[in-house]
Structure 1
Amino acid sequence: MKNISKKWKRILPAMLLVLALAFLAGCGGETKPAGDTMVYGSQDYTAINPALYEHGEINLLIFAGLTAHDADNNVVPGLAEKWSYDKGAKTWTFRLRKNLTFHDGEPLTSADVKFTLESILNEKNGSEIVSNYADIKKISCPDARTVKIQLKEENVGFPEYMTIGILPKHLLEGKDLTTDEFNQKPVGAGPYKLTEWDEGQSITLERFDGYYAGKANIPKIIFKIVPDSATRLLQLESGDLDMAQLTPKDGKALMKKDSDCSVYEMDTADYRAIAYNFAGSKLFKKYPELANILSYGIDRQAILKSVLLGEGEIAYSPIQKNPFNDSSIEKFNYDPAKMKSLLEQDGWKKNKDGWYEKDGTELKFTIAAMSDDQVRVDMANMCAEQLKKEGIHATAENRKELDWAGQDACIIGWGSPFDADDHTYKVFTTGAGDNYTGYSSADVDRTLEAARSTDDNSLRKQYYSTFLHRMTEQMPFTYIAYIKANYGVNKAVKGVDKNVVLGHHGVGIFWNVADWKLER
């Protein structure tokens, strides 16, 4: 009995450890969300500031703009109750609602609006969205509730850009906006206020009782940092997450599960493309015509089927989901024979190794993709393999950070469900803030400038048609596909708008978050 007792003393701790691990795995190793708390599976954040950083779905919860969007992505009043435009003076006048406050109780006035716009325009801050506001000439505040914004040139889409979250001047004036602790302790006027940030783990938001549109229904929302889609899937199944965006593969997997979650396959204006570096790549700087030629070598249908599992549609235009789109433009349908014919007409010949070459330069380049985006990684790999088969020495590479100055090409994503000016003017005009590739076309510049300078929709449609036709003569990208956004949503979460067309990275799903309910 003594020997048996010693044996169990050795074995028992190991058995208990195994049982404990099994228990933790079974329940996700997490505490289930409380009845009044919704937990969202989110990408990580290092800073939250709508004036500096464009991509951040959390902005819609913490901040509020003068304008907002409704279910149809139309511009509607936000912090501003009304606005008007003086065409002769090129001046927009916004009238704020009464008794607006920030999360800290301080008044929100026209001075805060002026401060926000001036912060965006300040070159030292390096705002990612500065191109949207570059036409601002003068900002004045006749009184605490009125702000006048005079433009250098007309921009009929300007109210669209006033959805930008307003910053508190009293907390940021005189400080370095890029390094201030505000970026980790943001204070806005949105439906939720940040109460805790556990770096790399979670961001806790509690409803703001002073929200101009009324107190939100769900008392607390936690943005739990879960960057990996497969992990999100597991935590949705276990109940540790109430909601999360998933890859198409994981979305399909969740549909097959007997769980408490539904999967929403949501339409977006978010496209993926190969972006060529006309400024930093020796190859594409010397031979920019390759962007057009190579576009015939990409089998988009195969990528749509394999990478997106059929969820989405083949892309050919940056405004494909917009009423100003022109579907008659050249679509660069898959035609490898035409690609090779055009290469040979352009002076490219295959060398002894079977790769195309011209004047001693091999047609060799790398397509980069962000390593944390599996869809882009898979697209880069498929594009490279398709081109290789035809004699183009293309390779794919996963990177933690993109090298906009030195890379050859990358899988890029753009697209907006809002005014056609958004994600066109700032992406394709020469020298614009989001024109990362050095693309330049005088014709494109002129037509996009004209399109934003008239409120006559028939004229705007003509201008955008001209823009698209000029673009196809000198392609900036090889368009691949518009993607869908897959959201796993616990059935206890009510009020999510499944029909709204989402923007880049699926942003926009929180447009009506104050109306959501949690019924556990």
Structure 2
Amino acid sequence: MKKYLAMLLACAMIFAFAAGCAQQNPANSDEPTATNAPTYVEATPVQNTELVTDGNETVSDKDTINIAVDREPATLNPGGVSSNVNEIIMRNVLDTLLKFDENAIPQANLATEWEAIDDLTWQFKLRDDVNFTNGEHFTAKDVVYSINRLANTTTGASALTYIDLSGVEAVDDYTVNIKTTKPYAFLEAQLCQAVMCIVNEKAITEMGEDAHGRAPVGTGPYMVADWTAGESITLERNENYWGEPAKLKTVVLKIMTEGTSRTINLETGDIDLNCRLQTTDIDRVEESSDMYVLAGAQNTLRYICFNTSVEPLNNVNVRKALYHATDTELIRETIYGVKSSEKANGPIPPSFQGKNHDLPEYEYDPAKAKEMLAAEGYENGFEVSFIYLANTTNNMFAEMLQSMWAEVGVTLVLQPTESGTLSTMLNAGDYEVGTAATDMKLCDAGEGLYAFFHSSSRGSSQDRTWLNDADVDAILDKIVTTLDAEERNKLVSEAEAMIHDLCPMIYICHPWRVYGARSDVRGLKVLPYDMEYYSKLYFVNED
């Protein structure tokens, strides 16, 4: 216990945030101005953070913005190896049929209107004024090609599996029918995903997949002008874009994998926007008059996962005991920070439709945990392994958990692992306890529950519990095929309660997205999903 307390003191010294630094931004308050440098703004999941020009500012004629990203994408082709960075870039260069609004509700994009003409067929009407950057005119044939192409790609095939696609056909040049083998409630949300971006067959055929992945031909507000491996990706404004033109001519995405380096470059002005501000640098940025911080809720869950198929973790009461042995709030505050996360109770984020807000909490209670373990025959505890991605933050997380569980007699054997091996082990079910972060990519609670907990999802990149419960499967199957939103939300709430009672994971928090920006940057809005609209960014003049 002394070691545990000493470690917590060190954690607190490293991760502590200055009290009183955060300032609430009331809904009706004035927007911060460049002369009154904005500080940290706490956004809620339903009221995203935004900074726009007020009446006292004038727009600058600066036309190039430098943005730091935390990794280099493998490809910009839909369906290729995916990350949040490549998905964001793709959706600035390519277009989807539908797109999420700021509340993650599907809206028109390349498709202007759509309807379910029967339980298995959705019909989409397309824009007739869109051209690709190679001059080719956009038609229904491009939609058919783009969707069919996904069957032979890395992540596209899994997307089609979720849709349970039976076919896609061009009715005429500007009408497309998408058919499924069974009613599929999440098709609209699925069509907002980057993997569903529309590409041009002629461009891919002439360029080849690899070359197209480095400079995709799209219909978006920007196009790729240069990609210098390991350094940067430069986007130039698409002057023939069908929608509102991008405000800035050039966007330079600088690849900076180290969080401290991103912050230093923001301080010096070498970058204008840091899309991944680490929690340890929040105070540093908000205390500067030359920078500001924006933050908002995301669709992500940080959790500890149990492999429910192995002993003794196949015993629900053992899982519940370990939950009671875990001080989740201390982990959240110490590791993830109160300024960049919110408490989680259940797998569904608080703002999502269908969220069950009446779930009982598994309160931190080591004495109760010991009693429950003894009742299951583990009065002397047991040994269990814990796999996690090896880095400074996760190492600290693992040591905290190890100390907490030791208090109830459970020996946690730490297995720090590199990224590729970790994914392989989790996908194969070759683990006992692990930690992960998972996005509800469709911003739909029903789809998220299905991907996380349906037995058919075992072995996927989202199922980390290997839960196999017939009642859970049955209600999740019903959610997928229920097209009425109100009825589906009731089922989602019921399903979350069932899953919560089975305790397949320990919820740590919903991390927030945190940005650092130079004080003259405007137009950024923190969205509840992975997207930054580069076309809306601009600069203001400062006195």
What band does the TM-score fall into relative to the shorter chain? Answer: 0.7 to 0.9
Counterparts of 2:124 and 2:137, CA distance in 1:
17
Alignment partner, residue 162 of structure 1? 191
Counterparts of 2:220 and 2:395, CA distance in 1:
35
Q: 2:287 is matched by which residue type in structure 1?
A: K
Counterparts of 1:383 and 1:219, CA distance in 2:
49
Alignment partner, residue 13 of structure 1? none
Offset of 1:460 from its aligned partner? 1.7
Residue number among 125, 141, 158 corresponding to 1:95 in the alignment: 125
Counterparts of 2:416 and 2:364, CA distance in 1:
25
Alignment partner, residue 381 of structure 1? 399
Counterparts of 1:175 and 1:336, CA distance in 2:
61
Offset of 1:54 from its aligned partner? 4.5
Alignment partner, residue 534 of structure 2? 513
1:427–1:434 contact (8 Å) kept in structure 2: no
2:230–2:255 contact (8 Å) kept in structure 1: yes
Alignment partner, residue 479 of structure 1? 507
Alignment partner, residue 55 of structure 1? 83
Offset of 1:172 from its aligned partner? 3.5
Offset of 1:193 from its aligned partner? 0.9
Q: 2:200 is matched by which residue type in structure 1?
A: P
Counterparts of 2:394 and 2:325, CA distance in 1:
18
Residue number among 362, 365, 376 corresponding to 2:385 in the alignment: 365
The residue correspondences of 1:65-464 to structure 2 (distance < 5 A) are 65-88=96-119, 90-122=120-152, 125-127=154-156, 129-130=158-159, 133-163=162-192, 164-172=196-204, 180-244=210-274, 245-258=276-289, 260-278=290-308, 283=311, 290-311=318-339, 312-321=341-350, 322-350=352-380, 356-357=381-382, 363-369=383-389, 371=391, 375-401=393-419, 402=422, 403-404=425-426, 405=428, 406-416=430-440, 418-432=443-457, 433-437=460-464, 438-464=466-492
Offset of 1:516 from its aligned partner? 2.1
Partner SS, residue 421 of structure 1: helix
Indicate how the Cα distance of structure 1 residues 484 and 443 shifts in structure 2: closer, same or farther if over 3 A, else same: same
Alignment partner, residue 43 of structure 1? 70
Counterparts of 1:213 and 1:381, CA distance in 2:
51
1:131–1:426 contact (8 Å) kept in structure 2: no
2:225–2:235 contact (8 Å) kept in structure 1: yes
Indicate how the Cα distance of structure 1 residues 478 and 368 shifts in structure 2: closer, same or farther if over 3 A, else same: same
Partner SS, residue 452 of structure 1: helix
Counterparts of 1:116 and 1:42, CA distance in 2:
27
Counterparts of 1:115 and 1:267, CA distance in 2:
35
Cα deviation per residue 1:223-261 (whole Å; 9 max; x = unaligned)?
Answer: 111112111111110001111121221112211234x21
Offset of 1:63 from its aligned partner? 1.9
2:385–2:415 contact (8 Å) kept in structure 1: no
Offset of 1:201 from its aligned partner? 1.0
Counterparts of 2:398 and 2:242, CA distance in 1:
45
Indicate how the Cα distance of structure 1 residues 125 and 269 shifts in structure 2: closer, same or farther if over 3 A, else same: closer
Counterparts of 2:246 and 2:256, CA distance in 1:
25
Indicate how the Cα distance of structure 1 residues 172 and 314 shifts in structure 2: closer, same or farther if over 3 A, else same: same
2:332–2:338 contact (8 Å) kept in structure 1: yes
Alignment partner, residue 360 of structure 1? none
Q: 2:408 is matched by which residue type in structure 1?
A: E
Offset of 1:140 from its aligned partner? 0.9
Offset of 1:377 from its aligned partner? 4.5
Offset of 1:464 from its aligned partner? 1.0
Counterparts of 1:232 and 1:84, CA distance in 2:
45
Offset of 1:369 from its aligned partner? 2.3
Cα deviation per residue 1:95-136 (whole Å; 9 max; x = unaligned)?
Answer: 1101322222222322222222223334x6354752664321
Question: Number of matched residues?
Answer: 461
Indicate how the Cα distance of structure 1 residues 218 and 153 shifts in structure 2: closer, same or farther if over 3 A, else same: same
Counterparts of 1:377 and 1:35, CA distance in 2:
43
Cα deviation per residue 1:338-375 (whole Å; 9 max; x = unaligned)?
Answer: 2222222222131xxxxx23xxxxx221231253xx55
Partner SS, residue 86 of structure 1: strand
Offset of 1:419 from its aligned partner? 2.4
Cα deviation per residue 1:456-504 (whole Å; 9 max; x = unaligned)?
Answer: 3332222112211221232332111111221001122211125x4x23x
Offset of 1:336 from its aligned partner? 1.8
Cα deviation per residue 1:242-292 (whole Å; 9 max; x = unaligned)?
Answer: 11121221112211234x21111222232200123346xx55676576433
Instruction: Give the structure-2-normalised TM-score.
Output: 0.78
Offset of 1:71 from its aligned partner? 2.1
Q: Which moved more, 1:476-485 or 1:108-117?
A: 108-117
1:42–1:225 contact (8 Å) kept in structure 2: yes
Alignment partner, residue 16 of structure 1? none
Counterparts of 1:128 and 1:278, CA distance in 2:
27
Percentage of pairs with the same residue: 22
Counterparts of 1:225 and 1:458, CA distance in 2:
43
1:62–1:189 contact (8 Å) kept in structure 2: yes
Alignment partner, residue 7 of structure 1? none
2:125–2:176 contact (8 Å) kept in structure 1: yes
Unaligned runs of 5+ in 2: 1-60
Two-structure CA RMSD over aligned residues (Å): 2.6
Indicate how the Cα distance of structure 1 residues 263 and 192 shifts in structure 2: closer, same or farther if over 3 A, else same: same
Q: Which moved more, 1:413-422 or 1:227-236?
A: 413-422
Counterparts of 2:472 and 2:204, CA distance in 1:
38
Counterparts of 2:228 and 2:318, CA distance in 1:
47
Unaligned runs of 5+ in 1: 1-33, 351-355, 358-362
Instruction: Give the structure-1-normalised TM-score.
Output: 0.82
Q: 1:313 is matched by which residue type in structure 2?
A: E
1:367–1:384 contact (8 Å) kept in structure 2: no
Alignment partner, residue 44 of structure 2? none
Q: 1:423 is matched by which residue type in structure 2?
A: G
Counterparts of 2:265 and 2:307, CA distance in 1:
39
Indicate how the Cα distance of structure 1 residues 365 and 181 shifts in structure 2: closer, same or farther if over 3 A, else same: same
Offset of 1:431 from its aligned partner? 2.3
Counterparts of 1:266 and 1:147, CA distance in 2:
36
